Amino acid sequence: MLKKITLFISSFLFSILFYGKNIGLNYLLFSILVILLLATLQPKKFKTKKILIRTLYYLAASTFVFIYNSSLSIFVSIVSLFALLGALPTFKASLYVEFLNGCYTAIASSFTNYYHHMLEETEAVKKKNINYSYWIKTIGIPILIVGIFILLYSNANPNFNRIVSTIDLSFINLKWVLFTLLGYFILLNFSDPQTIQPLTQMDSETENQLDKSTIPMQSSTSLLQENQLGIILLISLNLLIGFFLTTDLFYLRSLIDVAASDLSKSVHEGIYALITSLIFAIIIILYFFRGNLNYYKKNQHLKTLATIWILLNVVLVVITAYKNYLYVTHYGFTYKRIGVFIYLFLSSVGLITTYIKVHARYNLWYLLRKNIHIAFMILVFSSVVNWDQLITKYNINHAQITDIDYLINLSNNNVVELKEYVENNKRKTTKQQAERITKKYLAYTQQLNVNSWQEFTYDNLKIKK
């Protein structure tokens, strides 16, 4: 009963917050509503550290939706919500399982519940469960009596009548009702988190450590041959990457004065080479260290060669990062260039976890779990940054060449910086660009002024100051 009333009120609030509105303060308020709903329905689970941390992530990400209103912050907030919903029914699951469980809960939990509920019920129970007269009494009678009293009080008191007549319920129409039902469906899904049973079970049964007893037996000759193959292959690959890096270092010295197109080509080719190299490196290492070779007494050389190869790949990451840095100092930041830095960072993490996997005898699941966890942390922290503002400030103040058209096409988070730039540097922008910036600024400030309270963003507060 408590659940039904809570969901009913929450779906009504959902409509008030989102019906015909853009994203803004409403998103943050909805997140608080979801947290309150979950905490009301599952209070015990909200006393655990893990759930509290997940809640904090979700709340922080939703706060950044209010502050920046960017697609990235919305995406991070949704991912954080999935992590929270997925963590509720399973305390020990891996993060990727929690995401999938959370995603499943958010989109289809009510259907699963309905299915299981339907199987359990007999016809007699069904009839007993739907007590129509109870619902008519509980909802109908209070509404009727309150309505009669409102009419009586309105006639008795002109002030009361005036206030009552100002209540506008014209927004309630079929579209609004359907929207509220959609809200009810979403919140109903959230209210009873589910798990993907086979996946959750498999995850809980799989440890990070390699299990020697589950590895198929291999003859000593076969092991020796595999070890030799690994050594020969890794020596060849190390020599090849070593030669590539030497030539690349020489090329790097000449890069400072090259044209933009050459620098761009060099960075992009470096990235493609790096992606291929890293994928192969990890696949080959995982292949050789998949089973018995981990416990082979003479695997020391193979381990050393694998470590050298990982190190050389890290050098490749550093060189490519430096090329990207040169590119950024010349031509400024873009999302793609920031993406390259993030990719390079994640690659380094992947290489380090592969190194740990080899030396600590972990399995593939360890790599998957750790890397997804780190990627999630980076994603959460990336929503803290106002990227459009950062790109604009850097490109205007530090880059040697500034692509103003690119900056104009970014979101509204950089309008203030662009406006100041065009006012202080009239010679550096064309007339058309200056007009576009002014138009963007005016459109945004106008939009902020007409925002309803649900659509309020942090910029509304700044404008008031």
Partner 1 sequence: MKTLSRTIVTAAKAALLASFLLSLAIRALESVNFNSVPLIFILSIIITFIISFIMILFTIVPIYELTPKLTVIQKFNKYFPLYAIVFFLACTYIIWNQNFDAITNIIFIIAYITAMQSWVWFFKENKKNIEKNENN
Q: What residues line the site for partner 1 (CB under 8 A)?
A: 100, 103-104, 107-108, 111-112, 114-115, 118-119, 122, 173-175, 178, 182, 185, 194, 196-199
What's the one-letter identity of residue 86?
A: G
| Cβ at position 22, least distance to partner 1 in Å | 12
Phi, psi of 209 (to 5 degrees): -80, 145
| Least distance in angstroms from the C-beta of 207 to partner 1 | 23
Cβ nearer to partner 1, comparing 99 with 288: 99
Integer Cα distance of 430 and 9 in angstroms? 54
Q: Least distance to partner 1 from the beta carbon of 176, Å?
A: 9
Residue 124 or 217 having the CB closest to partner 1: 124
Tell me which residue has tokens 């994603």: 379
Give CA–CA dist 292/385, Å, rounded: 46
**Residue 209, strand partner residues:** 362
Nearer to partner 1, 197 or 304 (CB): 197
96 vs 369: CA distance, rounded Å:
7
Q: Which of 373, 315, 369, 366 is nearest to 344 (CA)?
A: 315
Structure tokens at 328: 């950024």
CB atoms within 10 A of CB 354: 25
Q: How far is the CB of 115 from partner 1 (least distance, A)?
A: 5
Considering the complex, state which of residue 180 and residue 386 has its C-beta at the smaller distance from partner 1: 180
User: Residues 6 or more apart from 179 whose CB is under 8 A from it?
Assistant: 15, 18, 19
CB of 121 to partner 1, least distance (A): 9
Per the DSSP assignment, residues forming a β-bridge with 362 are 209
- Minimum CB separation of residue 122 from partner 1 in Å reads 6
Please state the closest distance from residue 108 (CB atom) to partner 1, in A.
4
Residues contacting residue 292 through CB under 8 Å, at least 6 positions apart:
215, 217, 218, 223
Q: What is the Cα–Cα distance from 376 to 11, expressed in whole angstroms?
A: 30
Tell me whether residue 183 or residue 350 sits nearer to partner 1 (CB atom): 183
Pick 73 or 294: Cβ nearer partner 1: 73
Taking the least distance from each CB to partner 1, the nearer of 2 and 124 is: 124
